[in-house]
Amino acid sequence: MKTNPFNGKYGPALIAEIGGNHEGNFEYAKKLTRYAISTGIDYIKFQIYTGDSLVNPVVNPDRNKHFKKFELTKEQYLELAEMVKDAGIGYTASVWNEEFLEWIDPFMDIYKVGSGDMTAYPLIEKIAKTGKPLVISTGLANEEEVMDMIKFVQSINPIYKRPDHFAVLQCTTMYPIPHEDANLNVIKRFKEIIGVTVGYSDHTEGSDALKYAYAAGAQIMEFHFTDSRKGKQFRDHKVSLIPQEVIELQQELLKIKKLLGNEKKQPLPIEIENGHVTSFRKAVYLVRDIRKGEIITPEHLTILRPNKGIDSREYYSLIGKKAIIDLKKHQVLQKDYFE
């Protein structure tokens, strides 16, 4: 296990969400898993549930039937987990029933709680007690609800005060969403106020929002994954990336990582080695010859490249000084030429 599970091979940790895209077909689920493995992704994610453990069949029978169609068996979920782990890729899942935690926990590198369960405190409590790295999406929530959730998680287990154990994702829970509903500025806000890792769960079409989210500071990226969007009716396929797009995204993230560079502001070796600190900056020079004893006024001075002698920031300190030797126009000046 990596020291920080939220550090990915290409910068941010990338989570390919197969979720319900298998639509209850186990052979197709294995096919999608093999495709995801082929991309070298950081994590492959599933959703583990049954219709009856997720939706009340009396209050909402239609949604209950919908999720029943997408069910896999315990044995099938475990086989998929083994496929992922055997390939050397991180496994995670949104476990929507606390009774399933015991048998899937040995495979879980990180836990993922989806937006719908951000307020499911009894379930979150069980997960937090495992002490494993935890990622929670925040779709549907306002800022106060997010902060309350973070306090709750950290009250259950103080390990979640560590940024390498707890992450919160900006998310908008619709499929798909227009770009103006991605609200990537929330990433910046979260980084200012929550004190743990910040990421982004994407429901836009394409990969642009993921790239911009990384540039905005997201350290985890979750996106839906499929083999092809053509001819698919289930909504999640529309917001899913296909294998080639994942590979292209990874390469783009490497470029962005290079462009982002180091947050410490300082001159770089390439600037110093090429002499730009001297050649690009300016120094103070005389615009005419000066005789010994003359008092320096602004009319005597200019600033020019290169920065040799007296730095242009010292311009004001020369005004009112007296030359103690004869000086030539444009010669390199030294402070001990004046008193």
Number of domains in the chain: 2
Q: What local confidence, expressed as pLDDT, does residue 235 receive?
A: 77
pLDDT tens for 199-233 read 999 999 999 999 999 999 999 999 999 999 988 87
Structural domain boundaries, residue 155? 7-260
Residues 199 and 309 in one domain: no
Residues 70 and 169 in one domain: yes
Residues 86 and 208 in one domain: yes
Residue with tokens 């009716």: 233
- Number of other residues whose CB lies within 10 A of the CB of residue 53: 14
Segments in the chain below pLDDT 50 = 1
From 260, 291, 307, the end of a domain falls on 260
Bridge partners (DSSP) listed for residue 111: 134
pLDDT tens for 276-333 read 999 999 999 999 999 999 999 999 999 999 999 999 999 999 999 999 999 999 999 9
Residues 248 and 293 in one domain: no
Q: What local confidence, expressed as pLDDT, does residue 1 receive?
A: 44
CATH of the domain at 124: 3.20.20.70
Tokens representing residue 291 in the block: 């005789």
CATH of the domain at 329: 3.90.1210.10
DSSP strand pairing (111-113 vs 166-170): unpaired
Is 140 inside a domain boundary?
A: yes
Is 43 inside a domain boundary?
A: yes
Is 1 inside a domain boundary?
A: no
Residues 104 and 243 in one domain: yes
Is 18 inside a domain boundary?
A: yes
Residues 309 and 218 in one domain: no
CA atoms of 319 and 328, how far apart (whole Å):
17
CA atoms of 93 and 4, how far apart (whole Å):
18
Burial class (CB in 10 A: 0-12, 13-18, 19+), 178: exposed
From 239, 260, 281, the end of a domain falls on 260
CA atoms of 178 and 209, how far apart (whole Å):
10
Residues 199 and 279 in one domain: no
Is 108 inside a domain boundary?
A: yes
Residues 221 and 278 in one domain: no
Is 98 inside a domain boundary?
A: yes
Residues 284 and 179 in one domain: no
Residues 106 and 222 in one domain: yes
Q: What local confidence, expressed as pLDDT, does residue 236 receive?
A: 83
**DSSP assignments along 120-172, one per residue:** -HHHHHHHHTT---EEEE-TT--HHHHHHHHHHHHHH-GGGGSTTTEEEEE--
Residues 244 and 275 in one domain: no
